[in-house]
Amino acid sequence: MTGRAMDGEGAARRVLVAAALFVASAAGAAADEAQVQRGAYLFAAADCVGCHTDVKSKGAPLAGGRPLATPFGTFYSPNITPDKATGIGNWSLADFRRALREGISPDGYYYFPVFPFTSFTKMTDEDIADLFAFLQTQKPVAQPSKPHDVNPPFSWRFTLAGWRMPFFKQGPLEPDAGRDAAWNRGRYLAEAVAHCGECHTPRNVLGALEQSRAYSGDPKGPDGQSTPNITPDFRTGIGNWTVADITKVLKTGETPDFDEVGHGMAEVVKGTAQLTDDDRTAIATYLKSLPPVSTPKKPAA
């Protein structure tokens, strides 16, 4: 073989290698973009922006500082932008997964259950990774997280070790083999991603969800707002609502009696409106399958 032929063969090989690298790079970029898009969908469903943005003070998106008044004091949401100094820019995927799955920070301290890790723990590893990928694409904001305004003993994080024993069950959520795919999807979205029960379930004196009364409403909900009973109880819940009615609420915020959902739920609807019709219907199907729980109605004024 002549030197010219060998040079030509080498050049051809280099072109093939370069082409292969280009194709691999393009495929990787496409895969990354697909992951980010999936993460954006989960981000909307979970209404992350609603809790992690201080809208009243015109704060930057996801920079934290939103106050949440509770019977134990006022908690402030942290900065979850990818800022390396004050946000989660230095977090690894393992750090993020540990926060959602275990309720433990990268520094090893327990999160207060005002952060709904008790629901997020039920998410799949794949969905947690997708959500993390999306958050890493957001604009970094240099803003230190505000310290919580909570008095002892509720401000003592070491007490959370005891709290977690009876009230925290680590996930992920296992599908129910006795139910169809739509019901399981609705359960997953409602229980894990959208964490509906965190607002619509009453809490005990220690701030834990009363699972025996799940979804029956909470007169002392977030920021002192009363949240309604969304079990299919006909007298005090949404037993008279159809699956289509619930689906419409999740899309438009309009109730069957031509009213509109209140402020807190209005924020949630901004996210659920971005879901597919199938996913909204799945959530509605799951809610209609819950055991009805009757709750006392307030006496007429």
pLDDT of residue 263: 76
pLDDT of residue 220: 85
Beta-carbon contacts of 271 under 8 Å, excluding residues fewer than 6 positions away, are 43, 44, 45, 46, 47, 49, 50, 194
Residue 9 pLDDT class (50, 70, 90 cuts): low
- Residues 119, 158, single domain; the answer is yes
Q: Is the pLDDT of residue 16 over 70?
A: no
Global model pTM greater than 0.85 = yes
CATH code for the domain of 218: 1.10.760
Q: Is the pLDDT of residue 6 over 60?
A: no
What are the backbone dihedrals phi and psi of residue 73, each rounded to the nearest 5 degrees, phi first? 135, -170
With respect to residue 98, please indicate whether it lies within any of the assigned structural domains: yes
Residue 296 pLDDT class (50, 70, 90 cuts): confident
pLDDT of residue 1: 54
- Residues 148, 192, single domain; the answer is no
- Residues 65, 129, single domain; the answer is yes
Give the C-alpha separation, 179 to 175, whole Å. 8
pLDDT of 222-242, one tens digit each?
Answer: 887 899 999 999 999 999 999
- Residues 202, 106, single domain; the answer is no
- Residues 105, 125, single domain; the answer is yes
Residue 15 pLDDT class (50, 70, 90 cuts): very low
Torsion angle, CA of 83/85/88/89, rounded to 10 degrees? 60
- Residues 149, 192, single domain; the answer is no
Residue 68 pLDDT class (50, 70, 90 cuts): very high
Q: Compute the average pLDDT of residues 118-144.
A: 98
pLDDT of residue 300: 46
User: What percentage of the chain reaches a pLDDT higher than 70?
Assistant: 88
Residue 19 pLDDT class (50, 70, 90 cuts): very low
Domain count, the chain: 2
pLDDT of 183-197, one tens digit each?
Answer: 999 999 999 999 999
With respect to residue 195, please indicate whether it lies within any of the assigned structural domains: yes
Q: Is the pLDDT of residue 137 over 90?
A: yes
With respect to residue 213, please indicate whether it lies within any of the assigned structural domains: yes
Going from the C-alpha of 236 to that of each of 38, 159, 229, 239, 243, the distances in angstroms are 36, 36, 7, 8, 17
pLDDT of residue 225: 84
Q: Is the pLDDT of residue 301 over 60?
A: no
Residue 8 pLDDT class (50, 70, 90 cuts): low
With respect to residue 23, please indicate whether it lies within any of the assigned structural domains: no
- Residues 162, 204, single domain; the answer is no
- Residues 78, 123, single domain; the answer is yes
pLDDT of residue 5: 53
Structure tokens at 77: 């949401």
With respect to residue 161, please indicate whether it lies within any of the assigned structural domains: yes
Q: Which of 117, 152, 172 is the last residue of a domain?
A: 172
- Residues 72, 42, single domain; the answer is yes
Mean pLDDT rounded to a whole number for the chain? 90
- Residues 134, 58, single domain; the answer is yes
Q: Which of 172, 192, 220 is the last residue of a domain?
A: 172
Q: Is the pLDDT of residue 299 over 80?
A: no
Are 287 and 230 in contact, with CB atoms under 8 Å apart? yes
pLDDT of 86-121, one tens digit each?
Answer: 999 999 999 999 999 999 999 999 999 999 999 999
With respect to residue 10, please indicate whether it lies within any of the assigned structural domains: no
Domain holding 281, by residue range, is 174-294
pLDDT of residue 223: 80
- Count CB atoms within 10 A of the CB of residue 212: 10
9 vs 85: which has the higher pLDDT:
85
